[in-house]
Structure 1
Amino acid sequence: MDTLELLLSATPKLPEKQIKLKRLSKECNGEVIFNLRALTYNRVAELKEAHAGADLEVHIMLAGVISPDLKSEELKRKYNAVTPAEMIKNMLLPGEIEDISREIEKLSGYRITTVEEIKKK
């Protein structure tokens, strides 16, 4: 099959993965697991435009964490927050926010090598 046929036959889906938050797992006496999903190019562009320099990592998290529901009213009440972004900043340490955001970026093809050169034989 040539490349065009391969692309036409493919059913691509966004990569997903699970991560465990060490500190919260210890504090909660149970595994605190976040399910992450890659973001599309258009979604990343929207986030960069809307939040350039201001809490971009937090908004990447809000877009890329598929569970738990970070927009949950219960979580906002628990962490004394009006918005989901404020809740994340109250719940997590700055380094945790950055690490989770980076994991979503990696799933989305950033911060990794996504191509390789083909050597001529």
Structure 2
Amino acid sequence: MSDEKTVSTLDLLLRPELPDVRRTLAEKKVEVSRLSELAGAPVVFTLRALTYEQVRSVQERPRGEQAIHGVLLGCADPLWKDKSFVDAGKGIVTPLDAIKSRLTAGEIDELYAEIQVLSGYIVRTLADVKNG
């Protein structure tokens, strides 16, 4: 007989060292090379994982709009909603306009891919359990 005590999944999930992922969102800094070259200094974005509700909000958008909305929600810095980006004379009146005016389509997609990784997508987050 084994003296090992089996710990339930519930007990493991209730351990205090497991973070509340709604409050402890993963972050990552990434540099946008093209902008750094143009600016003559590193242009670094701080990306943050999306909450469950934010992911669902992005997924409700038409497929062609999901990446830009993901970047809007997943950029901790810069904050695309900052009024400093608004320039009606240049046709920048919304945060989405600001993103489109500064980033290429490929950069938007790459930033969104990084945000998805931080949010637990693109990589496998579950492991198979072998019958034992």
TM-score normalised according to structure 1 size: 0.87
Equivalent residue number for residue 69 of structure 1? 79
Paired with 1:24 and 1:89, the residues of 2 have a C-alpha distance of 13
The residue identity in structure 2 corresponding to 1:4 is: L
Does 1:100 find its partner at 2:111? yes
Secondary structure in structure 2 of the residue aligned to 1:55: helix
8 Å contact from structure 1 (residues 79, 91) kept in 2: no
Question: Hey, what does 2:50 align to over in structure 1?
Answer: 39
* TM-aligned CA deviation for residue 82 of structure 1: 0.5
How far does residue 77 in structure 1 lie from its aligned partner after superposition? 2.6
Percentage identity across paired residues of the two chains: 36
Q: Between Structure 1 and Structure 2, whose CA radius of gyration is higher?
A: 2
> What's the secondary structure of 2:111's corresponding residue?
helix
1:99 and 1:54 map into 2 onto residues whose CA distance is: 14
1:86 aligned partner: 97
In 2, the alpha carbon distance for the partners of 1:52 and 1:64 equals: 18
- Return the letter of the residue paired with 2:59: K
Counterpart of 1:6?
12
Q: Which runs of 5+ in 1 are unaligned?
A: none
Instruction: Name the stretch that deviates more: 68-77 or 83-92.
Output: 68-77
| Matched pairs, number | 120
Alpha-carbon RMSD: 2.0
Q: Which runs of 5+ in 2 are unaligned?
A: 1-6
TM-score, normalising length from structure 2? 0.81
Q: Which runs of 4+ in 1 moved over 6 A?
A: none
Letter in 2 for 1:28: A
1:57 aligned to 61, 67, 71, which one? 67
